[in-house]
Amino acid sequence: MVGRRRLASVGQPVTGEAADGPLVSVVIPMFQSESWIAETLESVAAQTYPLVETIVVDDGSSDSGANLVSGFAESAERPVRLVRTTNNGVAAARNLGIAESNGAYVALLDADDLWRPEKLESQVAQLEESGSPMCTCGYEFFDDLSRRRIGVVRVKDGSTALRGWLALEGNGLALASTALIRRQALEDLLRFDSLFSISADLDFALRVGETGHIDALPEVLVGYRVHPGQMHRQISGLAGEVSTLYDSVFADGGDPSFERRCRANLAVHIGLSQLLKGRFGSALGHLGRSVRWDPRRIVTLPLRAFVRRSGRRLRAVFAGEASW
C-alpha cells in the first residue's frame, strides 16, 4: 500500500462536467524538482482554458519542492492539491495523481516542462470534436540554463507517429507532457506500468492507441527543458525496459519484419551510446546484434537521426529565439 497524505488544497474538487465545459485534471509527478516546479505551475495557471484542477504528487523528494507547491496552492485561483508519497517512481506517481483527479480529461505534465497558455484549450476543443481517447501536440526542446531553443518537433498524426516511436525512430509523440487523455480511456484500469520508468510513456501510449485514434495538433504547445540527469538520457536502462516491452508487443509474432526493425534500432542506439563512452567491446556487441536483426538499420538509423536533428535545428532557427 502506498502511503500518502494531502498537504495542501485550494478550493473544492470539481466534478468532471461543468456548465462551461469539461474539467481538466493536470497531474504532475515531482521528484527533487525544486528548481523548476514553480515555473511549471505558473504555466498551468496561465492556461486560457478556465476549468482546471492541478494535482502534484511528490514522490518522496527531500528538497523544498513540496513547500513551494504548498505556497503556490495558498494563493492559486484554481484548485491545486499536493499529495505526498514514498518514492515509488514516476509511473506510480502518475497513477496516484490520476486516482486523485476528478476531471473528464487528464493532462500529464512533468515537473520540469512548460506549457503555452493555449495548450489545454486547443486540445480540449480537438477531443470534444473528434471523440478520440488522447491528443498530443508539437513541442520544443530548450536549454535549461540559456533558455535557448534547441529543436522543434511537430506531429501530424498521433497514431501514425506511434509506430515510429515504437521503432525508436523519433517522431514527437514520446513526451508525456503533450498528452491530454479522455477519462473514459483511463477507466478501463488503464494506468502506467510501474515495471517501466524510462519507457513508461511508450508502454502507456501503445495501450491508449489500442482504444482508438490518437489525435495530434501540429502547433508547438509544450516546452521540454533539457538538463543533466533526465530519464531519457539513461540509455543503459532503456535497453532492458524496451526489450521487455518488445517481448510483450510482438508476443503473437504477427509482424516479424517490423519486430526485426525495432530490435535492430534498439541495438544501434545502445551500441552508439557505448561507442561514445569509449566502451568499444560493448559497442561492437550491440552493433553486431543490430546487423543480425536487420543489417540496414546500422546505416539508415544514424542517417535519419542526423537529418531529423538538422531539420529540428533549422526549424528552431527560422522560428526565432525561444521565449520560454
Where in the chain are the domains? 4-228, 234-306
CA distance 322 to 307: 22
Residue with the bigger pLDDT between 71 and 249: it is 71
pLDDT of residue 29: 96
What is the rounded distance in angstroms from the CA atom of residue 3 to the CA atom of residue 1? 6
Residue scoring higher pLDDT (134 or 229): 134
pTM metric for this prediction = 0.78
What is the percentage of the chain residues whose pLDDT exceeds 90?
A: 44
pLDDT digits (tens, 9 = 90+) for 212-266: 889 999 999 999 988 775 555 555 666 778 888 888 889 888 789 999 999 998 8
- The region of weakest confidence among 18-27, 161-170, 220-229, 240-249 is 161-170
Query: pLDDT value at position 12?
Result: 43
**What are the start-end ranges of the H helices in the chain?**
37-45, 65-75, 90-100, 119-130, 158-166, 183-186, 200-209, 235-249, 256-276, 280-293, 297-319
Task: Return the CATH number of the domain spanning residue range 4-228.
Answer: 3.90.550.10
Q: What is the dihedral of CA 52, 53, 58, 64, to 10 degrees?
A: 80
Q: What are phi and psi of 35, to 5 degrees?
A: -75, -20
Mean pLDDT, the chain, rounded, equals: 83
d(CA 263, CA 252): 16
Q: Please state, in angstroms and rounded to a whole number, the distance separating the CA atoms of residues 265 and 1.
A: 38
